[in-house]
Amino acid sequence: MNFQSSTDAYQAASKIMSHEYANKYANYWSKKQKTIKSGKANFKDSGRQKTYNAEFKALAKYGKLYPSDARFKRVDWKGSQKLFKKIAKSATYQKLCNNTQGSRGGFTQPTLEKANFRGATAGQATWFGAMRLKENNCPYTIVHEFAHLCGNMHHDIGFRRDVIKLSSMFLGKEFGNILKKCFKEAKLKITTGSHIMSPEQWIASVMRMEKIRESKS
């Protein structure tokens, strides 16, 4: 719906439903707007570990199918720099930067820094547009960090959508498809969906759900 604010959404809803339901509709409208604009369904990065797990699963699956694929062999610093420059200058990455939803777009001129991480950290994308990597890196780590730098400083819907696109372009469509499948198997969304229900549609949906719950109680 083309409301300008949650207040507008509430006022429209209050004409056909109670104050309580109108408030709930306004909250629904506001949350849906934020999700569409930011590419995030959650605002605490709560899906991070599930996303990591799906990525690990995809890498393991692909590795078993194609153990000799040179695109997945670890690269030294020189190789890391080469892949970084290739992706940063690509039309695919630049387009994702420009298409990023939300108030903060992607970094069209990212920089690369060498880091001495401790523990399990493999790479990092900073809020200042820098990618920080170890001396030797898995190419997917570089792709993963680029999915952050194109405007997704989280591991939510927008990130997963863009890491699939980058993976398909730079690591092959087959891997991109496997990654997409692993996200879906983990029940992780990869699209936000732009449809926002009207007050009439929303209240009809709520009433249907309440009837279903009553019939089961």
Average pLDDT, the chain: 88
State the pLDDT at residue 136: 93
State the pLDDT at residue 40: 63
Domain residue extents for the chain: 6-21+28-40+193-216, 48-185
Per-residue pLDDT reduced to its tens digit, 128-178: 999 999 999 999 999 999 999 998 988 988 899 999 999 999 999 999 999
For every residue of the chain, DSSP letters joined together read ---SSHHHHHHHHTTTS-HHHHHHHHHHHHHHHHHHHHS-S-SS-TTHHHHHHHHHHHHHHHHHH-TT-GGGS-B-HHHHHHHHHHHHHSHHHHHHHHH--SSS---SS-EEEE----TT--EEE-TTSEEEE-SSB-HHHHHHHHHHHTT--SSSHHHHHHHHHHHHHHT-HHHHHHHHHHHHHTT-----------HHHHHHHHHHHHHHHHHH-
State the pLDDT at residue 39: 61
